[in-house]
């Protein structure tokens, strides 16, 4: 290893099936726990041994959290076409909740190299409020409380809809719950932004070493960080009509593909704007030394990764989605979603890995890639178990006609 330095189913499961799923999930949790990143406590400032796994963890956590955020946005704008996506999108957020909380605690407990600024032997030329912010307790409490707040609010939000499907109440009560979900939606979005802003600071921005006597700080970076997750998570929703759209009773049709592709097209342009906005802030502020972390991603060893990110998140989606034939095709949209997902994962990779190594290679960390696949499969397994336990669709919302007086 290179030396690293800072630079539609409503059915219920039978007891036997439930027990089998529980045993499977327990085994998956055990595998991840036993192979989680446990690092040495060296006094040298070195990079994380399991940096690639942490990148995948951040990617999956962000993408999964977008499920409930997508529902909140669509309910706010009263997007009727999005209703068939609601239940599985919400469950995808809750499926990753245990991995997110346990994963963060494990990284905090054992990852001393990623958060090297907690080591008092490292001089970052920090003082005042910034120095008090960069403490072990501050790191733990702000991120853990933000995660608990987001997932707690999300479960309260999701459970309201689930109870409606289970109780089969009258339309008047359903309209009341619809209104409650509308009012809760801004809070869910706000909790997501706050939670991911903290993660962006601590897992990506604050690990960049101080330069010219100043810590690298970008007010635009957290927005780029969490919007990248929104972008990839929204594109990933195409998996639902791809897997469920062929059944005779499926609510998905060409209209849903076209509406989703339109939303992804707009997010493609927004993603590029938020990425390049980082350069605008630095240029207008006349702080040329703050370009260094961005140049490290764009040139030299990491240049191919950079252009993979730009191609996956911008060139390929834009070139495909401007044509109507791709907007109506489930297969084409799946290909675009894969492109965006790869680009978004590489984006997270470039935020962390180049800080610690000038020449890291994916082939040097095949074991971590394998663990990333295990984590993804465990997440999908939990999502499958939740989908079997609860309804695949938000049937009560789909049965409600548009409310003209809303």
pLDDT digits (tens, 9 = 90+) for 190-235: 999 999 999 999 998 888 876 655 667 788 899 999 999 999 999 9
Nearest to 41 by CA among 123, 112, 143: 112
Angle, alpha carbons 196-189-65 (nearest 5°): 55
Nearest to 107 by CA among 62, 149, 148, 56: 56
Nearest to 230 by CA among 72, 366, 384, 91: 72
* Close Cβ partners of 195 (under 8 Å, ≥ 6 residues apart): 65, 143, 146, 147, 149, 150
Residue-level pLDDT at 23 = 52
Angle between helices 330-356 and 51-76 (to 10 degrees): 130
Residue-level pLDDT at 337 = 96
Q: Global pTM?
A: 0.85
Residue-level pLDDT at 46 = 58
pLDDT tops 80 at residue 34: no
Q: 101: which 2 tokens?
A: 């909380």
Share of the chain above pLDDT 90, in %: 58
Quick one: pLDDT band at residue 347, thresholds 50, 70, 90?
very high
What mean pLDDT is predicted for residues 2-28? 44
Angle between helices 330-356 and 221-236 (to 10 degrees): 150
Average pLDDT, the chain: 84
What mean pLDDT is predicted for residues 366-385? 96
Distances in whole angstroms, Cα of residue 372 to Cα of each of 28, 67, 355, 367, 368: 12, 20, 21, 9, 6
Can you tell me which residue has the tokens 């009012």? 183
Q: 340: which 2 tokens?
A: 């965006």
Nearest to 120 by CA among 43, 6, 49: 43
Give burial (CB, 10 Å; 0-12/13-18/19+) of 85: buried
Quick one: pLDDT band at residue 10, thresholds 50, 70, 90?
very low
What mean pLDDT is predicted for residues 349-365? 90
Nearest to 336 by CA among 356, 350, 322: 322
Residue-level pLDDT at 35 = 40
What are the phi and psi torsion angles at 19 (to 5°)?
Answer: -65, -40
Residue-level pLDDT at 56 = 97
Show the beta-strand stretches assigned E in 178-330: none
Residues in the chain: 406
Highest mean pLDDT of the ranges 291-295, 310-314, 392-396: 310-314
Question: Where is average pLDDT lowest: 86-90, 98-102, 401-405?
Answer: 401-405
Q: At 290, which helix (H) or strand (E)?
A: none
104 or 132, which is more confident: 104
306 or 136, which is more confident: 306
The residue extents of the domains of the chain are 15-38+46-397
What mean pLDDT is predicted for residues 40-53? 60
Tens digit of pLDDT for each residue in 298-308? 899 999 999 99
């Amino acid at each position: 290893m290179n030396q690293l330095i800072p630079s539609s189913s409503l059915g219920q499961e039978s007891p036997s099936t439930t027990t089998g799923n529980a045993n499977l999930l327990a085994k998956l949790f055990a595998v991840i726990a036993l192979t989680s990143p446990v690092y040495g406590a060296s006094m040298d400032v070195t990079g994380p041994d399991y940096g690639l796994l942490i990148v995948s963890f951040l990617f999956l956590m962000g993408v999964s959290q977008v499920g409930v955020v997508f529902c909140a946005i669509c309910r706010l704008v009263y997007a009727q076409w999005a209703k068939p996506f609601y239940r599985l999108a919400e469950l995808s957020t809750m499926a990753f909740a245990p991995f997110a909380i346990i994963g963060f605690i494990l990284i905090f407990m054992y990852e001393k190299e990623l958060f090297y600024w907690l080591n008092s032997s490292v001089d970052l030329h920090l003082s005042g409020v910034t120095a008090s912010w960069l403490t072990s307790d501050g790191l733990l409490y702000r991120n853990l409380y933000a995660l608990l707040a987001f997932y707690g609010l999300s479960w309260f939000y999701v459970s309201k809809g689930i109870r409606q499907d289970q109780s089969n109440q009258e339309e008047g009560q359903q309209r009341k719950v619809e209104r409650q979900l509308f009012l809760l939606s801004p809070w869910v979005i706000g909790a997501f932004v706050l939670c991911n802003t903290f993660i962006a600071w601590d897992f990506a921005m604050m690990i960049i070493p101080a330069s010219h006597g100043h810590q690298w700080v970008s007010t635009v970076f957290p927005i780029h960080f969490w919007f990248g997750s929104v972008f990839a998570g929204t594109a990933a929703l195409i998996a639902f009509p791809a897997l469920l759209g062929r059944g005779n009773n499926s609510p998905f049709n060409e209209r849903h593909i076209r509406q989703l592709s339109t939303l992804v097209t707009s997010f493609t342009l927004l993603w590029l704007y938020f990425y390049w906005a980082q350069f605008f802030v630095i240029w207008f502020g006349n702080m040329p030394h703050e370009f260094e972390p961005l140049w490290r991603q764009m040139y030299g060893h990491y240049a191919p990764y950079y252009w993979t990110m730009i191609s996956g998140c911008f060139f390929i989606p834009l070139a495909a989605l401007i044509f109507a034939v791709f907007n109506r095709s489930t297969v084409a949209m799946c290909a675009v979603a894969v492109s965006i997902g790869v680009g978004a994962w590489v984006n997270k990779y470039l935020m962390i890995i180049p800080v610690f190594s000038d020449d890291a290679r994916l082939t040097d960390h095949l074991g971590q890639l394998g663990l990333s696949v295990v984590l993804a499969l465990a997440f999908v397994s939990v999502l499958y178990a939740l989908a079997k336990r609860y309804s695949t669709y938000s049937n009560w919302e789909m049965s409600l006609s548009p409310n003209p007086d809303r």
